């Protein structure tokens, strides 16, 4: 399965994402933390890539609690956006500060080719939603100011601002989640992301039944994984993000391969389970590089006193 690449190569990622939102059907994104992971998501057939704050933090050996700076995360998101043709949606945590920080963030991410930014309504510095303990929410009016600031700062009208609702994560209940979604839509959010961490999809389905119908809803079924993307789409979700599955799969796969090599004293037992170097070269874009080399690289160096032909 391959993503739809029928749009013009000059079309921006933001414009491509807008086209996906305008079409019928659910949009599927996969999380990644580097350009290789982004290309794997694209090659698998996902409609876009989620620049996952959790994955990027974990790849640096750090907890996901705003230890990395905006520049750290932007460098990775921009590299991923440049490596694929599908849109890149960036997890921008709590916006790296107040409304002024959010404006600076939007300008930088927009210039890097990001299709959408997602900011969550938690107090900066935030803590990953799946961790116990502190999950403090920003007051509604303050977060609406961040959304308004983000929309004011963008220059490309196609760039989308996704407002992430953490009320269910913080134990505030459905009524507050719905009220926040309504307020964020009024403030200009292009979509809202309702986040939940239970093993049942019912709270998310209830939100979809009761939410404002004219604003697209994004969901992240990390813990309530038994429901399919098509089922979520039928319930009213427009985008489904599999936010950290690539990282988690890689951790298990690498651990098993390394254990086998150490146990056996050689890699023979795992060679059929790991990608051949030819796959690595393909994902690196080596064939395209070789074509460019043949076209443009001039290897002939004239001897002193000779004129190159």
Count the Cβ atoms, other than its own, within 10 Å of residue 283: 16
Count the Cβ atoms, other than its own, within 10 Å of residue 245: 16
Count the Cβ atoms, other than its own, within 10 Å of residue 301: 8
Q: Which of 189, 187, 175, 5 is nearest to 87 (CA)?
A: 5
Chain-centre distance for alpha carbon 284: 20
| Residue 156 annotated as catalytic | no
Answer positive or negative: Cα dihedral of 5, 7, 12, 14.
Answer: negative
Alpha helices in the chain (DSSP H): 13-22, 35-44, 53-59, 70-83, 99-111, 140-153, 174-186, 202-210, 229-235, 245-264, 277-283, 286-296
Q: Helix (H, G, I), strand (E, B), or coil: what is residue 210?
A: helix
Catalytic residue among 47, 64, 93, 158: 64
The whole-angstrom separation of Cα 35 and Cα 114 is 13
Q: Helix (H, G, I), strand (E, B), or coil: what is residue 32?
A: strand
User: What are the residue numbers of the active site?
Assistant: 64
């Amino acid at each position: 399965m391959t993503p739809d690449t029928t749009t013009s190569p000059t079309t921006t990622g933001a414009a491509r994402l807008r086209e996906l939102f305008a079409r019928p059907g659910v949009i599927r994104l996969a999380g990644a933390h580097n350009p290789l992971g982004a290309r794997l998501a694209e090659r698998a057939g996902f409609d876009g890539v989620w620049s996952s704050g959790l994955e990027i933090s974990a790849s640096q050996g750090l907890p996901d609690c705003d230890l990395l700076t905006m520049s750290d995360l932007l460098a990775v998101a921009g590299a991923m956006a440049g490596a694929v043709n599908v849109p890149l949606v960036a997890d921008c945590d709590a916006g790296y500060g107040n409304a002024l920080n959010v404006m600076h963030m939007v300008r930088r991410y927009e210039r890097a080719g990001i299709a959408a930014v997602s900011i969550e309504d938690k107090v900066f510095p935030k803590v990953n939603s799946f961790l116990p303990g502190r999950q403090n929410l920003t007051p509604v009016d303050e977060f609406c100011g961040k959304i308004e600031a983000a929309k004011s700062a963008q220059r490309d009208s196609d760039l989308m601002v996704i407002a992430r609702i953490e009320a269910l994560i913080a134990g505030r209940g459905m009524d507050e989640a719905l009220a926040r979604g309504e307020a964020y839509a009024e403030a200009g959010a292009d979509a809202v992301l309702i986040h939940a961490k239970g093993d049942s999809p019912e709270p998310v389905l209830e939100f979809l039944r009761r939410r404002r119908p004219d604003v697209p809803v994004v969901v992240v079924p990390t813990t309530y994984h038994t429901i399919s993307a098509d089922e979520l789409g039928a319930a009213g979700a427009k985008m489904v993000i599999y936010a950290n599955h690539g990282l988690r799969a890689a951790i298990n796969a690498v651990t098993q391969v390394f254990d086998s090599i150490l146990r056996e004293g050689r890699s023979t037992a795992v060679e059929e389970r790991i990608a051949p170097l030819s796959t690595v070269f393909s994902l690196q874009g080596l064939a395209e590089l070789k074509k460019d080399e043949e076209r443009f690289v001039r290897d002939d160096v004239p001897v002193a006193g000779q004129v190159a032909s």
